[in-house]
Amino acid sequence: MEYTKEEMMIITASRLLHNGEVCFVGIGLPSTACNLARLTHAPDIVLVYESGTIDTKPAVLPLSIGDDILADTASTVVSVPEIFNYWLQGGKVDVGFLGGAQIDKYGNINSTVIGPYKKPKVRLPGAGGAPEIASNAKKTFVIMKHNSRAFVDKVDFITSAGYLNGGNEREKLGITGEGPQFIITDLGILRPNSETKEFELTAIYPNVTIEEVKAQTGWDLKISENLSIAEEPPLEYLNVLRDLQQRTSIAHSQTQK
């Protein structure tokens, strides 16, 4: 069955999540991957959104953290201070799932500005809760489309901390979470080197070449000695994902009329 690179990326990301995990979810691609996991192999995953919704089970993908479908389908809704103070900073979140505009070789994410901070070329939507998620979740996953404008040697602004300048700098600063474990893209999967913390290509998608990935990366991307070819998306996952996206499109088009 044919599939797109974006479908491959979302399904690959979803399959990295485990049943029963507590996952703090970002809007967009992270939300799609997390809800796909819930609808397939991880029915008991606990999805938490920044607005305070806990164990939400939306029938369609939310437009924002304030989408009422999140509250309508949640087991409980708490205040924003409680979701950050008690759940996130309290160490109860297993996975923080994030996206961003830029990411660098040490997994630092920029969603603030492109160019100098005081005179940016582009001002981006901003941090939201991402800095706290990246710092306090036990581990972080990042999902982004792979191109040289987004994958840069050094981000213009660190919105959410990865491994900063590499090595044990994150740990020395007392940042509690383990940091980003995966960067899942539409070309493959990157993971941090155990010593330097620089992200390396560890898996590549079918019909994608190493040269293609390196050409779309703004640093001299290292290739893992154990580079693997990722499994093609199972038919079940493709069907569930496409059904979810179709329902979402129909629901939101009706809302906007």
Q: Residue 53 carries which side chain, given as an amino acid letter?
A: T
Question: What is the CB neighbour count within 10 angstroms for residue 139?
Answer: 16
48 phi and psi angles, rounded to 5 deg: -120, 130
What pLDDT does 14 receive? 98
Q: What is the CATH number of the domain that holds 230?
A: 3.40.1080.10
135 pLDDT above the threshold of 60:
yes
Residues in the chain: 257
Exactly one of 50, 132, 198, 200 is catalytic; name it: 50
Decide: helix, strand or coil at residue 255: helix
Tell me the residue range of the domain where 50 lies.
Answer: 5-255
Q: Residue 244 carries which side chain, given as an amino acid letter?
A: L
What pLDDT does 165 receive? 97
- pLDDT averaged over every residue in the chain: 95
Rg, the chain, Cα only: 18
For residues 209-241, one letter each, b for 16 or more C-beta atoms within 10 angstroms of the residue's C-beta and e for the rest, the string is eeeebbebbbbebeeeeeeeebeebeeebbebb
What pLDDT does 219 receive? 97
DSSP 87: I
What pLDDT does 125 receive? 85
257 pLDDT above the threshold of 80:
no
What pLDDT does 15 receive? 98
pLDDT band (50, 70, 90) for residue 253: confident
> Per residue in 158-214, pLDDT tens?
999 999 999 999 999 999 999 999 999 999 999 999 999 999 999 999 999 999 999
Separation in Å, CA 156 to CA 91, 109, 111: 29, 9, 10
For residue 200, the surrounding DSSP H or E stretch is strand 199-204
> Per residue in 81-128, pLDDT tens?
999 999 999 999 999 999 999 999 999 999 999 999 999 999 998 888
What pLDDT does 244 receive? 98
Question: What is the CB neighbour count within 10 angstroms for residue 1?
Answer: 8
| Helices and strands (H, E) in the chain, number of each type | 8, 15
The tokens for 180 are 């980003």
Closest to 84 measured CA to CA, from 134, 139, 147: 134
62 phi and psi angles, rounded to 5 deg: -75, 150
What pLDDT does 256 receive? 55
Q: What's the rounded Cα separation, in Å, for the pair 137 and 256?
A: 35
Q: What's the rounded Cα separation, in Å, for the pair 218 and 240?
A: 34
Per the structure, how many domains does the chain have? 1
pTM of the model: 0.95
Residues in contact with 132: Cβ distance below 8 Å, sequence separation at least 6, in sequence order: 84, 88, 89
Q: What's the rounded Cα separation, in Å, for the pair 220 and 203?
A: 17
171 labelled catalytic = no
